[in-house]
Every structure is written in C-alpha cells, then in structure tokens.
Amino acid sequence: MRRVISVCLILSLTTISINSICQAQVSQTAVPFLRIPAGARATGMGEAFVAISDDATATYWNPSGLGTYPLTSNWLEYPLPMQFELKSIALLRNDVPELNYERYDVWAISDLDLFKLHRSSWLNYEEYITQSGESLESILRKYTQVADDDRIKSMKEITARFNQPVSRDSLMTLKEKVVKSSIPAGEETSSSWDDLLSAWDNCLLAPENLMRLVKQINDFLKDDSLTLSETSQLVAFLPKVISRSLPATVKIPFRVLFTDTLTTAGSDGKLLWVGSQDGLFSFDGKKWKRYFVDDGLPSKHVTAILPLSEKFVWVGTDRGAVKFDGTKWTGVPWGDEIKDKEILCFANRGEREIWSATKSQLFKLEGESWQPYEKYKFKIGDTMDKVVSKFLGSEDEKTVLQAMERVKLINGLSDSVVASGQTINLPFELALNGEITALIKDDQENLWVGTNHGLKRYTENQWFTYGYRTYTAVEGDDAQKVAREFLRSDDEEKIQKLSQIIMDYNHLKSTGKLEPGQKVYVYNNATGSEILSLAEVGGDKVVVGTEYGTIRWDGQSWGRYYHAGLERAKTKKIIHQDGELWFATTEKVVIFAHAKREITFTHSNWAPELATDMYLEYLSYVQHVEGWGTFGTSLNFFSYGRNVRMDEFGRQTGEFSSYELAFAFSFGTRVSPNISTGLSAKIIHSHLADQGAGREKGRGAGTSFAIDAGLLYNNFILRKLTLGSALTNLGPNIAYIDVNQSDPLPRQLSIGLAYRIVDTPFNRLTATAQIDKILVDIRLKDDSNTPIKEGISNELKEAVENMGIEYRYGSYVSLRAGYHYDEEGGVKNPTFGAGLQYSAFRFDFAYIPSSKTSMLGNTMLFTMTGRF
C-alpha cells in the first residue's frame, strides 16, 4: 500500500508542476506570508532547507522530508565478519552524543572471539592510545587486570602477533638463513637479530621498516648467499627497525582475555558482561575484570547473564545462579529434589521478580529460594480437575488426569478433594513441552517461554499455547492420518514430518494411534517451531525469533517483519532498548531505528523596523505510522497587526485586524532506500479587512486551498550528498471581493542540495544551496499594451538564490550562517543562527541583521522543538 501511495505522489508531483507552469497567471501573487520561512534553524541557514527537511518543519519546506530518518523508521544491516559463527549480542553505551541507536556499540560473541560493531565497522580489538613511558606489559596489566605472569606472557605474544605484519616464526626463519649465509658469520649479526626478536615481543618494531627489511633479505638471498656488502647493509639496517617506544596506538585483541569457549553475553548498557567456560568477565568501556569461583561463583562455567542495573547482575552457571551487587556474591538455595541446576536463561520484571530456567524446568524466585511451582489457593467452587485443566491450558482428559496424579503426589494428597482456602503447589514442568530455550517477562505480567517445540505464555495461573491447533480424534485415527488431513497433500515427506511432530509434542507411543475423543495438538504455524529468541517491546508486545523466521505479537495478532530478510532469518538474539530493536541473525545484525515523533513551535516579531505589531507563529506535529509512512499537521499564522479604517473622505471609522493563516495536512514516505516523497494539502485563509473599501461589496477576505509536493534523493555513491526539490502553494487563485479580481497564490519551485563536509559523531558540518523560482509569470507590456517577451536571463534574475552552512558539535550546540540573494526583489541579506539541545529538546534562534537592501532588518526567530 505504501508503495502505491508513493507512486501516486510522484505522478501527482509531475502533473501539478506541469500544470502550474502552463497555467501561470498574469498578476502579482497574494498571501505572501506563505513564502515567509518557518523555523529558526532554516532561517539561520539562509532559507536553504529544501534538501534537508529532517525535522517537523518539513511540513513547510518539503513534505518528502517526512519520509526520511528520524521522522520515518530506518532499517540498517551490518553483515557479520567472515567465518564468524554468532552466538549472542549485547549493547554497551559509547561516547556518541545521540539519543538513538548510535549511542550503543553492539558486542557479538562466537565460541572463540568477541567483536564490537562501532560506527558500522566490526572490530575484534581495542585500539589503545599509548602514553609516554608505557610498555606492552604495563598496558596489558592495566587493561585486563591480570596479575599472573604466565598469562601476561601469553597475552603479550598474542598482542604482538596481532600488531606486527610479520610473524615471529617467519623472523626466526629469516634469522637462520641470514646468519648461515652471512660473510663473515659472527656474533654481531646474531646479536642484532636477538635484539630484533626481543623488540617484536614488546611491539617495538616500526612496521614499515620491518617490511623493508624482509624485502631486502629476500632480494639478497635470491642466490642463496650474502656478500660482505649485503651483510654489512643488513647489520646497519637492523637497528632502524627497532623503535625506542611503542607506536601511538596498540591494538589489543579481545581474545587475549579468554582461555576457553565463550558462552553468553549481557549488558545493562553501561557495563558489559561476557561469560565463558572458564569464568566471568566485565568491561566498563576502559578495563576488564575477571571473576572466578574464589570470588563467589558456584562454577567457572557461566551459562546465563541477566544484568538488572549497573550494580546488580544475576549470573547462571552449570551449578546454579548467584546475584552480584557490585561488592559481594549471594547464592540462592535449591531444593534437594532439583537435580538439573544448569541455568540457560533468566527473565525479570524489575529487580524483585526474577525467573530462571534450565532445559527441563522453570523456576520463580520466592523470597530466598527458587521454586519450581506456583502456589495456588483454592477458592469456593474450585475442583482439582478444573484448577489443573486451567493451569495446563489443556482440554484433554487424559493429560489432565495424569497431571492431577502428579499434583497429588507432590502435595502429599490422598485424593482429589481440596478444601476451600487450602494452598497447593502446581509444578510448572507439567505445562511445558520440550526443552526451554528462551524466557522473558512483559509489562502486562505475562511470562513468555520459548521451547524447541514452540511458544507458551503464562499469566494468572494459566498457560496458553501458540503454534498448534486442537484436534479431537475419531475412531481409526493415528498421527499419520491426522497429518495427512491437516496438510491436504500427498507429499509423503511432509506428512511424515508433521506426523513425527504430532507424536513428539503429544507424547504418543511409537504406533501413533489415537483413542476416540482424545484431544491432540497439531503444528499450525511458526510459533510452534523451535524458539530461538524472545524480546518484549512494551506492554504485552513481543518479538520472537523462530526456526522459520522472525515474528511479532502486537497484543492481538501475529505478524512478520518483512525487512532485511528477517521473515526467513534465524534470529538468535533480539534486544529492545530505548525504542530501538537489534536483531542478531546467523548472517548479520539488523537494527530497527524507530521513528521519532516531533513537535515544533516558532515565533517571530516580523520586520520590526517596518512595523511593531506584525508577528509570525508556526506550529507543527509529525508522527510515523508503521507500515504506512509519516503524517504531519501544521498551522502557519501571520498577523499584520491592527489597521485604521478610513472612509472615502479620509475619515477614521474604526480599527480592524489583518491576518493570514494556513492549515496543512502532510504525508511522506520512503519509496526506495535512496528516495523519499511527500505531499501536503492545505487550506489558506487571508483576512486583510472585515469589509470592502468604498463602494466595493463583500469583505477583504478570501479562502483557497493548495498542494505541496516534494522529492528527496540521497546519492548512493556520494552518501553525504542529498538532492531535494519541492513544488509549493499549487492551487487556485484567491478572491477577496470578486472572482474577476482574484490573485494567484505564490506558486514556487525550489531545488536544492545539501552536502555533509564533515560527518563524525562529535563534529558535523553541512553546506546547503537552493534556488527558488516563482511559477507565476508577471509579464511586462510595452506602450501599446503588447506583452514583452522575456529571455532566459530575465527568468534567472527572478530566481532567488539561497545558501547556508551549519556546524553541529555533538547533539549539544549548533552554529549557522547563510545568505539570501534576490536580485529582482532587491533583497540581499545575510542570516545567522544558533541552536542548543538538551536531551530531547532543542532551542533554535535566527537573526536577520539590518540591511539597506532588506526591510527585514533586526528580525529574530525563536523555535522550540521536542522529539520523543
């Protein structure tokens, strides 16, 4: 649907522009306030904003800006490094001053390595800036917090190999060849090589000189011998390869930290935790710390991590779970009957409600112990079969009866009669099918449990099953017959596969036979397949990674993400943070950068040197609707102040107010990754006077409507370049007294470009230029009233050229300057502006200084914008 709308917008834009040019009127334009710029930011940049339009003022400048990020959601894809088998990801805050996905680095683990996605690049090392007097050993001790000399020695070797272009073994081989072939062979040559190898161990080699040395040796040894001259050259050059100090930066590979397989990762955003089969590691962005069994872990084999805050973290091991408060580790006891204590996952709602799971069992933290059951207090009217049936979410009598026997055994009951007010334990394991794979708790008190046989939800003492349909067996039914009936296919391979699923899920015997009236569950959709990952996204909405693609629950129905191949991808980890989503698949990490709602308000006492009671006010609000695009509304109001009414004899008869306003409804969407388009429809009302002058009938007021249309194009080669165009105020003439005296709207074509000269997280410099051309012909006539033909030079003179520049430091301060050049109108004035941002709020100011060529001297604009 969105693509259809986009195509219609493009066709409309083309048609309207042709009609506007062809139907230009011979008259001056009315409602000139429609050309007064909206927003202090754009004004400060010389009114050259049509190619930017990335905030709520896009409803005025170019509605296609509504189809760009951050006003429209954006999907970003980052392919994983070659041969990297991803297991999980975590997010860690960086120093990027943004309020979106950019302020988080993605950390990804495989069995043997750790990678960081930083500014679109995957790195498996930390680039450490060295300081005077530091050595490789001192850096590693500081960075890794390791004191053991043998571990440091191993780390030095790995780090040196990572930083040097030639391996130590290759240098050893070259040394043997050189010493053997040297004339004369002696201790001087061997000693120089020993110094070289020692420098290699400590990263004290100059890489360029090292490569020159290797090339020189290979050239000299082409005849398998060295002359006296060649030997002398090598001996003289060897010291030049050795540096007295470390290079400006040293790359410390993350793998120096780990001695065994990595298992899991987690983060609260400020502290990264990485688990392995040989301990737990934390990283605060500057240094690492390792935790052992001696520190309080039940086992060195870490299996799950749940960070609750910068202080508190739950850690699961193959021998149970513990909580760390930043100072001490606190274990939680298990019942003697619990055999499997290998924690696979956690779930929580705040810091108090904690759930954990092993492959086969689910546990809830009650007080100071893990409980594998729910406590249920019988009420009046409750019976054992009703309570158990509701708890299981099952209608099958056989299943309910078997569960009742298990409940009686666990609670020490001799029969099924339970008195009102009595409390019994209902084991979670009775409702679970298969092995647990994922766990989350949403904001609506729902516990979502993923298994290798599908998805379940637990709320208010009741389990719900997804992905399966209930079937009541009849005489002669078996699993294969049911599979054939559901598939309505003769494909024996598919029938056999579904038949096996039915048997496994319903715990049927090998024959697969069903008893008449028996209720069985039959696989129906992807929520019944193996669940790989879960994430809650607010309320009772969840995102689920399944064996057959990534799906989402909006609280009422299931849907798929048809972006970046997620509908088919096996998503191993999903993270929801600050409204954004990160999907870690087997091939890439996909980021869903959520659109931001925005509201902006502008006020200006316009042209104060001309009049003291004229002012402009502009209000706009934009919001993205997923699957459609971004919608916006705006109100543009201009007051001309109060005027004195005069009769035909020049006598004052009273006062009246003059004003003009336009209300617009806008829509913008992305047509392709590089093109967005938009359309605005607006109602215009001009109230110049409350009655006609002299004998004129009617009032000095009129109403009309108009359409704006625009396009934005981001160059896929020069990604820093954006081209924009907009046709504005395209509509019928506006009449005040009668139709014969109607005046055209200020129909205008704007074409511009914007280029990011500097584009880093802390420094961004953007230059922009724009040409505006009124599409209303004002034709000159000679003395005989014959229209004078105007050439292209006159057309260009009528065009208005604007240019501007904006420098932004982080997301805090912006400085702007621009120039507005209108040769035909005799307006040539500079503009200046500044902006301050705090959190989601931005204040912008623009100033037009006094000028002999402009009546807008000393005009100031103030804009307040909120993004949420």
Does the pLDDT value for residue 781 go beyond 60?
A: no
Q: Which of 78-87, 407-416, 544-553, 739-748 has the lowest mean pLDDT?
A: 739-748
Same domain, 56 and 160: no
Band of pLDDT at residue 227, cut at 50, 70 and 90: confident
How high is the mean pLDDT of the chain?
89
* Domain co-membership, 630 together with 777: yes
Q: Are residues 65 and 135 in the same domain?
A: no
Asked if the model's pLDDT at residue 45 lies above 80, the reply is: yes
What's the confidence (pLDDT) of residue 314? 96
Cα separation, 134 vs 140, in Å, equals: 10
The reply to whether 141 and 47 lie within a common domain is: no
Print the domain residue range for 745.
2-72+598-867
CB 498 within 8 A of CB 488: no
Give the lowest-confidence range in 82-91, 267-276, 455-464, 643-652.
643-652
Q: From residue 744, how far is each of 271, 702, 725, 735, 748 by CA, in Å? A: 62, 12, 21, 9, 11
- Residue 362: both structure tokens together: 């689910």
- 541 vs 22, 147, 377, 458, 556, CA distance in Å? 53, 47, 30, 14, 9
Residue (of 267, 461, 448) closest to 355 by Cα position: 448
Same domain, 68 and 151: no
Helices (H), 113-255: 136-144, 149-163, 168-181, 187-201, 207-220, 228-241
pLDDT tens per residue, range 598-620: 999 999 998 888 888 899 999 99
Residue 725's pLDDT is: 97
Rounded distance between C-alpha atoms, residue 483 and residue 474, angstroms: 14
**Of 579, 589, 596, which is closest to residue 811 (Cα–Cα)?**
596
Report the pLDDT value the prediction gives residue 18, as an integer from 0 to 100: 37
Terminal Cα distance for the chain, rounded:
27
Looking at residue 24, its pLDDT comes to: 37
At residue 12, the pLDDT reads 46
Within a domain: 552: no
Whole-number pLDDT of residue 7: 43
Residues 6 or more apart from 667 whose CB is under 8 A from it? 5, 9, 63, 66, 629, 630, 631, 632, 678, 679, 680
Evaluated on CA atoms 128, 133, 135, 137, the torsion sign reads negative
Question: Are the beta carbons of 269 and 245 closer than 8 angstroms?
Answer: no
Q: What is the per-residue pLDDT for 21?
A: 38
Q: Does the residue 52 lie in any domain? A: yes
Q: What is the pLDDT of residue 363?
A: 95
Q: What is the pLDDT of residue 17?
A: 42
Residue 60 lies in a domain: yes
- Is 724:752 a contact under the CB 8 Å cutoff? yes
Domain containing 621 — which CATH number?
2.40.160.40
Q: Which of 463, 467, 441 is nearest to 547 (CA)?
A: 467
How much of the chain, in percent, has pLDDT values that exceed 70?
91
Which tokens go with 116? 């960081």
Q: Is 192 contained in some domain?
A: yes
Residue 25: per-residue pLDDT: 37
Contact 92, 104 (CB under 8 A): yes
User: Mean pLDDT throughout 122-143?
Assistant: 94
Res 716: pLDDT: 62
User: Pick from 231, 252, 273: which residue ends a domain?
Assistant: 252
pLDDT at site 787: 54
Does residue 62 sit in the same domain as residue 160? Answer: no
Q: pLDDT at position 27, please?
A: 40
Residues 828 and 697 in one domain: yes
Q: Using CA atoms, how far apart are residues 60 and 635, in angstroms rounded to an integer?
A: 10
309-356 confidence digits (pLDDT tens): 888 999 999 999 999 998 899 988 887 677 788 999 999 998 889 999
Digit-coded pLDDT (tens) for 798-857: 789 999 999 999 889 999 999 999 887 778 889 999 999 998 999 999 999 987 766 777
Residue-wise pLDDT for 616-659, tens only, equals 999 999 999 988 999 999 999 999 888 776 666 667 767 778 89
Q: Per the structure block, which two tokens stand in for 528?
A: 């019944």
Tell me, yes or no, whether 25 and 142 share the same domain.
Answer: no
**Residue 505 included in any domain:** no
154 and 53 part of one domain: no
The yes-or-no verdict on residue 305 having pLDDT over 90 is yes
pTM: 0.89
Among residues of the chain, what percentage have pLDDT more than 90? 68
Q: What integer pLDDT is reported at residue 19 of this predicted model?
A: 41
Residues 185 and 46 in one domain: no
Rounded average pLDDT over 123-136: 94
Rounded-to-10 torsion of CA 17, 18, 20, 22: 160
Residues 631 and 695 in one domain: yes
pLDDT in tens, 672-700: 989 999 999 999 999 888 765 555 555 77
Residues 6+ apart with CB under 8 A from 560: 549, 550, 551, 552, 566, 567
494, part of any domain: no
Look at residue 725 and tell me if it is in a domain.
yes
**Residue where one domain finishes, among candidates 233, 252, 271:** 252
Determine which of 209-213, 582-586, 714-718 has the lowest per-residue pLDDT on average.
Answer: 714-718
Q: What is the pLDDT of residues 409-434, one digit of tens each?
A: 999 998 888 899 999 999 999 999 89
Residue 8 is predicted with a pLDDT of 47
> For residues 328-343, b (16+ Cβ closer than 10 Å) or e, as one string?
eeeebebeeeeeebbb
Q: How far apart are CA 599 and CA 621, in angstroms?
A: 4
- The pLDDT score that the predictor gives to residue 93 is 94
Residue 182 confidence class, pLDDT cut points 50, 70, 90: confident
Please state the domain count of the chain: 2
Domain boundary among 206, 229, 252: 252
CB 239 within 8 A of CB 191: no
Residue 718: is its pLDDT beyond 70?
no
pLDDT for res 857: 78
**Residues 145, 62: one domain?**
no
Residue appearing with tokens 């306030």 = 33
13 confidence band (pLDDT: 50, 70, 90): very low
The answer to whether residue 856 sits within a structural domain is yes
Residue 797 has pLDDT above 90, yes or no: no
Per-range mean pLDDT, top range of 293-297, 398-402, 518-522, 709-713: 709-713
